[in-house]
Structure 1
Amino acid sequence: MYALFWRAANATSLFKFKKAMEAIDDTNPMAKEWLVDIGDQSSRWTKYAFDPNVCCDENKTNFVESFNATLGVDRCKPFLTLLEVKRVKFLISDSRTCKAFHSGDGFYEIKDGKSTLSVSLNDRTCLCNAHQLTAIPCKHVVRAILHSSQDPISFCSDWYSCKMYKQVYAITIRSIPDPEHWPEMQFPPIKPPVMKRAIGRPAKNRKKDANEERKGKRSKTVKCSRCKEFGHNVKTCKGGLTTKQKKGKRTTSTS
């Protein structure tokens, strides 16, 4: 269910979303009903329903760690240059598996494995809808652009340009006077919480979610080779389920 949910969450088109939801329905109909009941909030977790004007298709935050691991020698470059270098590398690398066939002025047919997608360089659209969501060429559009001997960077939205970046910070920020000159309020001042240092050495690694895989860890589901029950191994086996596990089984069977 975890894999099926993320297949639906990462669907960039309605077609892929429906296919993923059908797979969820075949596995667990109640899970599909629960996701459908979310209603309008689906625009917060499935990519195909995101607002294209936002130009972002991220629905999770752990992409930061993955991106940081790929910086390598480009880490010392300026921020915008670093982003541009990595983006172009990823797109060109992914587009190598695609084949482009010219089907008209600005129109291409892209073969991606068993899939066939239509790309319009004039309208800057792709059937996978990823290009429309982020305003950055997807691998299908990049293959069409390279086939037409053009620069993929020129097909990116102006939102990613240095000119737009400078305009964001062009507005001046007015100075704030010293706190002693602030106007008096009828409410008592809110003091910051007292910071207490935790016992032990500060953690360097990010705390992972319960659903995330842990490197070097064995599977969460351990099966005992002696009593054939789950939750413990042969070294900690006491002849079957623990009292806590037995209570949990009774509760599940009753419900």
Structure 2
Amino acid sequence: MGRRPGIEIALNELWPTVGRRYCCKHLSANWKKKYLGPLMYALFWRAANATFLFKLKKAMEAIEDANPTIRECLADIGDQSRWTKYAFDPNVCCDENKTNFVESFNATLGVDRCKPVLTLLEGIRRVTMVRMATRKEKSENWIDIDFCPNIVKRVKSLISDSRTCKAFNSGDGFYEIKDGKSTLSHAVRAILHSSQDPIRFCSDWYSCKMYKQAYASTIRSIPDLEHWPEMQFPPIKPPMVKRAIGRPAKNRKREADKEQKGKRSKTVKCSRCKEFGHNVKTCKGGLTAKQKKGKKTISMPSSSKAS
């Protein structure tokens, strides 16, 4: 969620005990404006992505050494359970501290984003209807006692990453892990060392049974607007909007520090004839004689022996 004052007041009044998280991507953007330089930006993300107390303490000490006043800024954000992974509720099977899914949702809407609200809602309904029906059909042949294929694929990737780890058994189910890329690979190496299957330690929320339950219901199709029954209520009309000068903008307005979406590069290489200027769909067997003649060739002078 964003740190808008109105949203903060509404949540405190309606759901005072509900857990909430802040988008660290937006927090880091505000942080970057206040504390210039790449060092402070990197230290913030080190603290936000800390998965256990030792890493968080080290990150906070580095932040305080760089600027002692930053601790007050972090205290103003709120409880640590809202922005750092270490303090997240373990019962919530998600450790994301960014709102990238909102960006994905905006990209899914496509051209409906710039249409009136009723047309926008109709586009959202249609996209959701197709997605739920497609995923329901996809999971029909899955076995309930198994886990989703994507989860199995990720576990296999963690098993491959854990090959560089070394496990030392200390008894009573505790292990000391050396090397490795992440704490997840450490956990997988300890599980493998104890001759157990890592897939058994996955949450039931990632099982095929839960996936089927999530997409069990479907959204029924509705007829066109012309076939809707007549209502006694007055029709909803769009608000009066004064058209501005120029063509209406469709692309999302990005922040100053974000990369602006540009056009496709003009340097296109064909995968068939390996020539530049076209792709495989428009390939005609390479460059024409006129195009080859227009290409500049550089001839290297031959070396001559001194007389």
Q: Which residue identity is paired with 1:140?
A: H
Map Cα deviations across residues 158-199 of structure 1 (whole Å, 9 max, x no partner).
1111111011122454666765237554684447x99x6759
- When the two structures are superposed, what TM-score results if normalisation uses the length of structure 2? 0.45
User: Where in structure 1 are there 5+ consecutive unaligned residues?
Assistant: 66-77, 114-127, 131-137, 213-255
1:162-201 aligned at under 5 Å gives the runs 162-171=208-217, 173=219, 180-181=228-229, 183-185=231-233, 188-190=236-238
Q: CA, structure 1 residues 162+197, in 2 after alignment: closer, same or farther (shift >3 Å)?
A: farther
Q: CA, structure 1 residues 211+198, in 2 after alignment: closer, same or farther (shift >3 Å)?
A: closer
Residue 47 of structure 1 and its aligned partner are, at CA, apart by: 0.7
**Could you tell me how far apart the structure 2 residues matched to 1:11 and 1:170 are?**
37
Q: CA, structure 1 residues 190+197, in 2 after alignment: closer, same or farther (shift >3 Å)?
A: closer
**Could you tell me how far apart the structure 1 residues matched to 2:149 and 2:185 are?**
20
Q: Which of 157, 177, 185 is residue 110 of structure 1 equivalent to?
A: 177
User: Where in structure 2 are there 5+ consecutive unaligned residues?
Assistant: 1-39, 105-137, 140-147, 260-307
1:74-153 aligned at under 5 Å gives the runs 80-85=148-153, 87-112=154-179, 138-153=184-199
1:8-23 aligned at under 5 Å gives the runs 8-23=47-62
Map Cα deviations across residues 121-177 of structure 1 (whole Å, 9 max, x no partner).
xxxxxxx9x6xxxxxxx2111001111222211111111111110111224546667
**Could you tell me how far apart the structure 2 residues matched to 1:186 and 1:23 are?**
62
Question: Secondary structure at 1:108's aligned position in 2?
Answer: strand
Q: CA, structure 1 residues 18+105, in 2 after alignment: closer, same or farther (shift >3 Å)?
A: closer
1:32-111 aligned at under 5 Å gives the runs 32-40=71-79, 42-60=80-98, 80-85=148-153, 87-111=154-178
Q: CA, structure 1 residues 184+10, in 2 after alignment: closer, same or farther (shift >3 Å)?
A: farther
Q: Highest Rg: 1 or 2?
A: 2
**Could you tell me how far apart the structure 2 residues matched to 1:165 and 1:175 are?**
22
Q: How many residues align?
A: 172
Residue 37 of structure 1 and its aligned partner are, at CA, apart by: 1.7
- Report sequence identity in percent: 67
Q: Which of 159, 163, 175 is residue 205 of structure 2 equivalent to?
A: 159
Residue 4 of structure 1 and its aligned partner are, at CA, apart by: 0.4
Question: Secondary structure at 2:96's aligned position in 1?
Answer: coil
Q: Which residue identity is paired with 2:215?
A: Y
**Could you tell me how far apart the structure 1 residues matched to 2:235 and 2:88 are?**
41
